[in-house]
Structure 1
Amino acid sequence: KTRTLTQVDALDVPKQSGATSTGNWLAVHTNLTRTSAFRTVRVAAGLERYDQVREAMAEGRVHAEQVEVIVRALDDLPDDLDPNLVEEAEGHLITEASRFDAVGLKKLGRRLLEVVDQDAADAHEAKLLEKEERDAQAAMRLTMYDDGHGKVHGRFVLDAYTGAALRKMLLSIAAPKHQAATQGPLGERKPTAERMGQAFGELINRYPVGRLPQAGGMNATLVVTMTLDSLMGGLKAAQLDTGGVISASLARRMACEAGIIPAVLGGKSESWIWAGRGGSTPARDGSSSCSRSVAVRSTAATPHPG
Structure 2
Amino acid sequence: MTDVAETADTSDNTGPADDRGHPVTSFVTSMSRALDRLADVSGWTMTPGEQRHALVELRRQRARLEELELRVLVAADRNDIGAESGATSTAAWLADATGSTRVACFRDVHLAHALDEEFEATRAALAAGEIDVPRAVVVVSSVRRLSDEHDDLPPGTNAKAEAHLLSQARRLDVARVRRLGKRLYEVVCPAAADADEGRILAAEEDRARRLAYVTLRDNGDGTVDGRFRLPTLHADLLRKALDALTAPRRLRAGPVDATAGGVRRPSASFLRGQGLMELLERHLDLTTMPGQGGSPFTVVVTMELDALQSGLGVAAVDTGCRISAGETRRLACRAGIIPMVLDGDSVPLDLGRERRLFSKHQRIALAQQYDGCAATNCDRPPAWTEVHHLDPWSAGGRTDLHRGLPLCPAHHRMADHPDRWDMRRMPDGGVRFSRRT
The TM-score, its normalising length taken from structure 2, stands at: 0.46
After superposition, where does 1:94-105 map in structure 2 within 5 Å? 102-103=174-175, 105=177
Equivalent position SS for 1:139: helix
Query: Within the alignment, does 1:250 sit opposite 2:327 as a pair?
Result: yes
Quick check: 1:292 aligned with 2:332?
A: no
Structure 2: how far apart are the matches of 1:39 and 1:232?
A: 86
Decide which of 316, 333, 339 is 1:262's aligned counterpart.
339
Query: Within 2, Cα distance between the matches of 1:93 and 1:184?
Result: 49
Provide structure 2 residue ranges, at least 5 long, that are not aligned to the other structure: 1-72, 75-94, 352-357, 373-401, 403-426, 431-437
- The 1:81/1:223 distance shift into structure 2, 3 A limit, reads same
Native 8 Å contact 1:223 1:294 kept in 2 = no
Q: For residue 52 of structure 1, what is the aligned residue in structure 2?
A: 118
> What is the rounded CA distance, in whole Å, between the counterparts of 1:264 and 1:250 in structure 2?
15
Kindly indicate whether the alpha-carbon contact (under 8 Å) linking 1:43 and 1:68 is maintained by their aligned counterparts in 2: no
When Rg is computed on C-alpha atoms for both structures, the one with the higher figure is 2
User: RMSD between aligned alpha carbons?
Assistant: 4.9
1:251-302 superposed Cα distances (whole Å, 9 cap, x missing partner): 2322232221233344xxxxx6xxxxxxx43342275313321232135699
**1:61-81 deviation per Cα after TM superposition (whole angstroms, max 9, x unaligned):** 597634531233114435032
Alpha-carbon distance, 1:113 to partner: 4.7
Letter in 2 for 1:109: G
Count of residue pairs the alignment pairs up = 265
Distance across 2 between alignment mates of 1:111 and 1:54: 22
- Answering whether residue 270 of structure 2 is matched by residue 194 of structure 1, we say yes
* 1:37 corresponds to: 103
Q: Read off the aligned partner of 1:131 and give its amino acid letter.
A: I
Alignment map for 1:81-230 (pairs within 5 Å) = 81-90=153-162, 102-103=174-175, 105-106=177-178, 109-110=181-182, 112-113=184-185, 117=188, 120-125=189-194, 127-128=196-197, 131-132=200-201, 134-136=203-205, 138-140=207-209, 141-145=212-216, 146-176=218-248, 178-183=250-255, 190-206=266-282, 207-230=284-307
After alignment, is 146-155 or 124-133 more displaced?
124-133
Q: Distance in 2 between matches of 1:192 and 1:284?
A: 47
Q: Quote the residue 2:78 is aligned against.
A: none
Q: Percent identical across equivalent pairs?
A: 32
Farther-moved stretch of structure 1 (194-203 vs 230-239): 230-239
Does structure 2 conserve the Cα–Cα contact (< 8 Å) formed by 1:227 and 1:265? yes
2 CA distance for matches of 1:170 and 1:251? 24
Q: Secondary structure at the match of 2:339?
A: strand
State the structure with bigger RCO (CA 8 A, min sep 6), 1 or 2.
Answer: 1
With normalisation by structure 1, the TM-score equals 0.62
Whole-Å separation in 1 of the counterparts to 2:230 and 2:269: 18
Cα distance, 1:155 vs. partner? 3.6
Deviations 1:111-139 (A, max 9, x none): 64566x4xx22541453256336514532
In structure 1, runs of 5+ residues without a counterpart are 3-26, 267-271, 273-279
Cα contact 2:296–2:336 (8 A) shared by 1:
no
**Letter in structure 1 aligned against 2:299:** L
Structure 1 residues 234 and 214: alpha-carbon distance in aligned structure 2, compared to 1, 3 A threshold:
closer
Aligned to 1:281: 346
